[in-house]
């Protein structure tokens, strides 16, 4: 009896110890998750805090008198005259209407610096398109100069105003009150390519470039990767050669991405003479980089198809090909798609290899094909983040948000596809 | 001549059949030698469906089946019994070459189906499996509709040219499997939503849809409850009129209920084959007796 009682006592004590251990273990887990979530939260808060102003543009709306005398322009259809004409003058004149006291060259120059440097070309484009508008008064909306834009967006923080003179600050304040200077959603960001001036710079060029690049990557890596996975998993004999291939695929997945860039530079550009900074070469390089990911995840998906299904099909007399195509591939498809989408998301965020093949160039035009010069989202962000102007720093953060939005939607797509296609057995 | 008569008459004629006295000894089970290639009882038949001679199966270096010779008669139900790991499933899977997908597995000996070599190098496995269907231990319907499960075999073998022909095959197969009345209103429902017993009967329907001559069953009832088991057993008895059935089972009652002959396997040897009633009432080999009386296994 005593023996039994002491044993029960021992068990009770060990139980206490075990429960304590379990509680501690759970605590570690909770702390780990908390740290992960906290860093994620800090990251998002920082990016959104810095970048939300990137989605806002500052505009100045003026009644511009397109006077032929002030512009030195008689005939807007004459190319030489257009090239020589002074399109800033009418803008300054329009601003002077608001501030009659601003006289003299210095004051005029300061007034002129309230609008962005592309304001003049807005007027030129308008006149070139509609020569009849000469000597009329038009209400036009101009993008404000970067310094003005930063000052308006950060009105509560004096450290952002230093690049405007006090006179200019007073003007902007007054124009803000009158509603001439206004902020609105930055549609420029989504409708233009890169620019020297932050207010005029957009991310559309990079988005389209990314799209073309991803299409090339998808078109190559998805079929090749899945075919390789199916062959290796289902048909390849088990021998030294396939072992060697398997090891090397795994190694390839661990190769730093910049090496793939060097390979692209040496092979596609150096050897095959393909043009630099075009989506085709970028897509090829990223396809090589994504292949191992797709092959490995597809093989795992194929392996996870229960052997009973294979046996069932074989038992009825399905050929190897029929077993694979009718049963194994459909059942493995969710896994293969998930792996591919995650591989694509990785490729979408890749910068290093693209720097080497010249996709880091300053490209203003939105690319119109697989062979036109382009840049991609992460490279665009890199370019903006490394520039000194506050406007570009904001744009970089805004670009990061756009990139993250793409990533999250791709991952969401992967989850949705998996849920949708998943079959239970 | 009934199945049993065929077998017994063959055994009398066959010179290889082992006289009973040879093996009956008073030794303990552990010392009991199993003589290779010597099988007690009635392993042979006239004009057999399967003629299997000196079959050996290797997994790498490991000899899993040791010199087994056996005939399986036409329209016979023969059950393979024996303790786990005795090689009965391995042997069963040789009959439609399901072992082919295992790389390290080698099969030696002569395996004839209707006097054609099963393991001939130019033998078409697909054609063989269309003639020798299989039902597995765990019900393994495809994750498709009930209709598609049954129609899959006829489709890939091109057995039905028109939709109506295919419908007929599906209905007949499901009727034969005793499943038609339960599922006729939901042929489009997914097969994985059925109960275990229904799933197994669906697998049987799927196997008979390609009109095989032989059906191999690898412990078809081990995952089923007694009621579902009874239904499947009833089905096996009905099917024995038109098919040759080889069934591996752990349940001796099942073997006794459904089979004409019973074969007892032990560590890769075929120890005893005989009419089922004889195996269970008067086993000739001591190992068989030990097994059926529950002393081991």
CB of B130 within 8 Å of any CB in chain A?
yes
Residue A184 is predicted with a pLDDT of 87
Same domain, A412 and A276: yes
* Mean pLDDT on A1-14: 81
Residue B24 is predicted with a pLDDT of 39
Number of structural domains (chain B) is 1
Asked whether the beta carbons of residue A316 and residue B138 sit closer than 8 angstroms, the reply is no
Sort A327 into a burial class: Cβ within 10 Å, 0-12 / 13-18 / 19+.
Answer: buried
* Mean pLDDT on A164-182: 86
Tokens standing for A161?
A: 């105003």
Query: Three-state SS for A347?
Result: helix
Residue B81 is predicted with a pLDDT of 93
CATH code for the domain in which residue B230 is found: 3.40.50.300
**A2 band by pLDDT with thresholds 50, 70 and 90:** low
Residue B184 lies in a domain: no
CA B111 – CA B95 distance, rounded (Å) = 8
* Mean pLDDT on B147-158: 92
CA A388 – CA A293 distance, rounded (Å) = 37
Same domain, A379 and A243: yes
Same domain, A296 and A180: no
Instruction: Give the distance, in angstroms, between the CA of residue B13 and the centroid of all CA atoms in the same chain.
Output: 25
Asked whether the beta carbons of residue B156 and residue A327 sit closer than 8 angstroms, the reply is no
Q: Which residues of B268-290 are buried (b: 16+ CB within 10 A; e: fewer)?
A: bbbbbbbbbebbbeebbbbbbbb
Higher pLDDT, A205 or B295: A205
CB of A318 within 8 Å of any CB in chain B?
yes
- Per cent of chain B over pLDDT 70 is 87
Residue found under tokens 């199993």: B34
Distances (CA, A) of B152 to B141, B155, B203: 11, 5, 11
**Mean residue pLDDT across chain B:** 84
Whether residue B177 has pLDDT greater than 50? yes
Inter-residue contact B206 to B179 (CB < 8 Å): no
The arrangement of strands across the sheet holding B116-117 comes to: B62-72, B50-59, B105-113, B116-117
Query: Three-state SS for B168?
Result: helix
CA B198 – CA B235 distance, rounded (Å) = 12
Q: What is the pLDDT of residues A57-104, one digit of tens each?
A: 899 998 888 888 888 888 878 888 888 888 888 888 888 888 888 788
Give the end of a domain, one of A14, A34, A52: A52
Whether residue B203 has pLDDT greater than 50? yes
Number of structural domains (chain A) is 3
Residue A224 is predicted with a pLDDT of 96
Give the end of a domain, one of A143, A168, A192: A192
Residue found under tokens 């797709």: A294
* Mean pLDDT on A3-30: 90
* Mean pLDDT on B278-283: 90
**Mean residue pLDDT across chain A:** 88
* Mean pLDDT on B64-88: 90
Same domain, A188 and A58: yes
Q: B101 to chain A nearest CA, in Å? A: 9
Whether residue A422 has pLDDT greater than 90? no
Residue A176 is predicted with a pLDDT of 87
Asked whether the beta carbons of residue B152 and residue A316 sit closer than 8 angstroms, the reply is yes
Neighbouring C-beta atoms of residue A86, cutoff 10 Å: 12
Q: Looking at beta carbons, which residues of chain B come within 8 Å of A322?
A: 156
Asked whether the beta carbons of residue A315 and residue B136 sit closer than 8 angstroms, the reply is yes
Whether residue B275 has pLDDT greater than 60? yes
Residue B3 is predicted with a pLDDT of 55
Residue B9 lies in a domain: yes
Residue B155 lies in a domain: no
Residue B2 is predicted with a pLDDT of 52
CB of B220 within 8 Å of any CB in chain A?
no
Sort B78 into a burial class: Cβ within 10 Å, 0-12 / 13-18 / 19+.
Answer: buried
- For residue B243, give its domain range: 3-19+35-141+215-292
Q: Judged by CB atoms within 8 Å, which residues 202-241 of A form the interface with B?
A: 238
Same domain, A40 and A106: no
CA B265 – CA B272 distance, rounded (Å) = 7
Q: What is the pLDDT of residues A129-159, one digit of tens each?
A: 888 888 888 888 888 888 888 888 888 787 7
The arrangement of strands across the sheet holding A137-143 comes to: A137-143, A56-65, A181-185
Higher pLDDT, B215 or A5: B215
Inter-residue contact A55 to A398 (CB < 8 Å): yes
Inter-residue contact B203 to B176 (CB < 8 Å): no
Q: Which residues contact A159 (CB under 8 A, 6 or more apart)?
A: none
Q: A320 to chain B nearest CA, in Å? A: 9
Give the end of a domain, one of A192, A217, A252: A192
- For chain A, the 3-state helix, strand and coil shares in percent, each to the nearest 5, are 70, 5, 25
Residue B5 is predicted with a pLDDT of 54
Residue B222 lies in a domain: yes
Same domain, A167 and A146: yes
Whether residue B297 has pLDDT greater than 60? no
Instruction: Pick the residue from chain B with its C-alpha nearest to A322.
Output: B156
B81 membership: H or E segment, kind and range: strand B77-81
Q: What is the pLDDT of residues B220-271, one digit of tens each?
A: 988 888 888 888 898 898 888 889 999 999 888 899 999 999 999 988 899 9
Asked whether the beta carbons of residue B192 and residue A425 sit closer than 8 angstroms, the reply is yes
**A128 band by pLDDT with thresholds 50, 70 and 90:** confident
* Mean pLDDT on B205-222: 91
Tokens standing for B19?
A: 């006289």
Residue in B140, B192, B206 nearest the CB of A424: B192
Residue A107 is predicted with a pLDDT of 85
Asked whether the beta carbons of residue A311 and residue B126 sit closer than 8 angstroms, the reply is no
* Mean pLDDT on A228-247: 90
CA dihedral B27, B28, B33, B38 (to 10 degrees): 70
Residue B16 is predicted with a pLDDT of 45
CB of A327 within 8 Å of any CB in chain B?
yes
CB of A333 within 8 Å of any CB in chain B?
no
Residue A400 lies in a domain: yes
Of A272, A273, A275, A262, the closest CA to residue A372 belongs to A275
Q: Looking at beta carbons, which residues of chain A come within 8 Å of B191?
A: none
Same domain, A245 and A227: yes
Residue B196 lies in a domain: no
**A187 band by pLDDT with thresholds 50, 70 and 90:** confident
Whether residue A35 has pLDDT greater than 90? yes
CA A349 – CA A293 distance, rounded (Å) = 15
Residue in B98, B138, B156 nearest the CB of A318: B156
Same domain, A253 and A182: no
Residue B25 is predicted with a pLDDT of 40
Of A385, A390, A384, the closest CA to residue A164 belongs to A390
**B205 band by pLDDT with thresholds 50, 70 and 90:** very high
Asked whether the beta carbons of residue A424 and residue B143 sit closer than 8 angstroms, the reply is yes
Of B257, B145, B148, B138, the closest CA to residue B200 belongs to B138
Whether residue B30 has pLDDT greater than 80? no
Tokens standing for A8?
A: 């029960």
Neighbouring C-beta atoms of residue A153, cutoff 10 Å: 20
Whether residue A1 has pLDDT greater than 70? no
CATH code for the domain in which residue A304 is found: 1.10.3720.10
Residue B28 lies in a domain: no
Residue A388 lies in a domain: yes
Tokens standing for B177?
A: 């499997």
Q: Looking at beta carbons, which residues of chain A come within 8 Å of B141?
A: 312
Residue B33 is predicted with a pLDDT of 59
Q: Looking at beta carbons, which residues of chain B come within 8 Å of A316?
A: 129-130, 133, 152-153, 156, 206-207, 210
Residue B17 is predicted with a pLDDT of 44
Q: B97 to chain A nearest CA, in Å? A: 9
Residue A199 lies in a domain: no
Phi, psi of B216 (to 5 degrees): -95, 135
Asked whether the beta carbons of residue B129 and residue A424 sit closer than 8 angstroms, the reply is no
- For residue A82, give its domain range: 54-192
Residue in B130, B136, B141 nearest the CB of A311: B136
Higher pLDDT, B83 or A423: B83
Residue in A310, A314, A326 nearest the CB of B129: A314
* Mean pLDDT on A284-297: 94
Residue A289 lies in a domain: yes
Residue B296 is predicted with a pLDDT of 62
Query: Three-state SS for A217?
Result: helix
């Amino acid at each position: 009896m005593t023996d039994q009682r002491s044993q029960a006592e021992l068990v009770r004590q060990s139980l206490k110890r075990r429960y304590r251990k379990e509680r501690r273990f759970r605590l570690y887990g909770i702390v780990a998750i908390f740290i992960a979530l906290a860093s994620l939260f800090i990251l998002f808060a920082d990016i959104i805090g810095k970048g939300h102003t990137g989605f806002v543009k500052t505009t100045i709306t003026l009644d511009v008198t397109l006077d032929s005398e002030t512009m030195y322009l008689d005939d807007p259809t004459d190319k030489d005259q257009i090239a020589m004409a002074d399109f800033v003058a009418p803008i300054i004149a329009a601003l002077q209407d608001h501030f009659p006291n601003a006289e003299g060259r210095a004051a005029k120059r300061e007034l002129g610096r309230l609008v962005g440097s592309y304001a003049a070309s807005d007027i030129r484009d308008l006149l070139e398109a509609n020569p009849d508008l000469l000597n009329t008064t038009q209400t036009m909306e101009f993008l404000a100069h970067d310094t003005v834009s930063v000052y308006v967006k950060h009105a509560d923080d004096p450290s952002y105003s230093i690049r405007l003179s006090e006179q200019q600050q007073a003007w902007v304040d007054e124009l803000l009150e009158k509603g001439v200077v206004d902020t609105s959603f930055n549609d420029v960001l989504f409708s233009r390519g890169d620019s020297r001036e932050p207010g005029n710079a957009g991310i559309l060029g990079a988005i389209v470039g990314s799209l073309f690049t991803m299409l090339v990557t998808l078109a190559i890596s998805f079929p090749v990767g899945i075919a390789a996975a199916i062959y290796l998993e289902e048909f390849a004999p088990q021998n030294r050669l396939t072992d060697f291939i398997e090891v090397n695929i795994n190694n390839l997945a661990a190769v730093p991405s910049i090496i793939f860039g060097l390979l692209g530079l040496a092979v596609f550009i150096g050897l095959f003479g393909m043009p630099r900074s075009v989506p085709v070469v970028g897509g090829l390089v990223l396809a090589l980089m994504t292949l191992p990911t797709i092959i490995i995840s597809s093989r795992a998906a194929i392996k996870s198809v229960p052997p009973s299904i294979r046996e069932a099909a074989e038992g009825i007399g399905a050929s190897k090909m029929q077993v694979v195509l009718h049963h194994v591939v459909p059942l493995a498809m969710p896994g293969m798609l998930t792996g591919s989408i995650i591989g694509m998301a990785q490729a979408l965020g890749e910068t290093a290899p693209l720097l080497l093949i010249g996709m880091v160039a300053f490209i203003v035009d939105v690319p119109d094909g697989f062979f036109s010069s382009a840049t991609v989202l992460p490279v665009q962000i890199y370019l903006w983040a490394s520039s000194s102007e506050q406007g570009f720093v904001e744009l970089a953060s805004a670009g990061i948000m756009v990139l993250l939005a793409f990533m999250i939607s791709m991952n969401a797509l992967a989850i949705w596809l998996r849920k949708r296609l998943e079959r239970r057995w | 001549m009934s199945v049993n008569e065929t077998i017994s008459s063959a055994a009398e004629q066959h010179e290889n059949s082992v006289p009973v006295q040879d093996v009956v000894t008073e030794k303990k089970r552990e010392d009991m030698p199993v003589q290779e290639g010597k099988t007690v009882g009635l392993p042979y038949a006239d004009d057999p469906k399967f003629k299997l001679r000196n079959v050996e199966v290797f997994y790498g270096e490991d000899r899993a089946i040791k010199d087994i010779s056996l005939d399986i008669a036409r329209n016979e139900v023969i059950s393979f019994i024996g303790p786990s790991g005795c090689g009965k499933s391995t042997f069963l899977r040789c009959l439609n070459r399901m072992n082919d997908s295992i790389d390290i597995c080698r099969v030696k000996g002569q395996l004839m189906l209707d006097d054609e070599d099963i393991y001939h190098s130019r033998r078409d496995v697909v054609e063989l499996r269309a003639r020798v269907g299989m039902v597995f231990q765990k019900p393994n319907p495809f994750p498709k509709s009930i209709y598609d499960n049954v129609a899959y075999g006829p489709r890939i073998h091109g057995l039905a040219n028109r939709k109506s022909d295919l419908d007929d095959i599906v209905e007949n197969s499901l009727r034969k499997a005793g499943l038609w009345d339960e599922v006729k209103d939901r042929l489009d429902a997914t097969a994985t939503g059925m109960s275990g017993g229904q799933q197994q009967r669906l697998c049987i329907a799927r196997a008979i849809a390609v009109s095989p001559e032989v059906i191999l069953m690898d412990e078809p009832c081990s995952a089923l409850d007694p009621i579902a088991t009874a239904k499947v057993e009833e089905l096996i008895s009905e099917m024995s009129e038109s098919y040759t059935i080889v069934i591996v089972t752990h349940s001796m009652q099942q073997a006794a209920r459904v089979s004409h002959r019973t074969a007892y396997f032990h560590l890769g040897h075929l120890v005893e084959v005989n009419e089922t009633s004889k195996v269970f009432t008067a086993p000739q080999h001591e190992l068989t007796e030990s097994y059926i009386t529950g002393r081991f296994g």
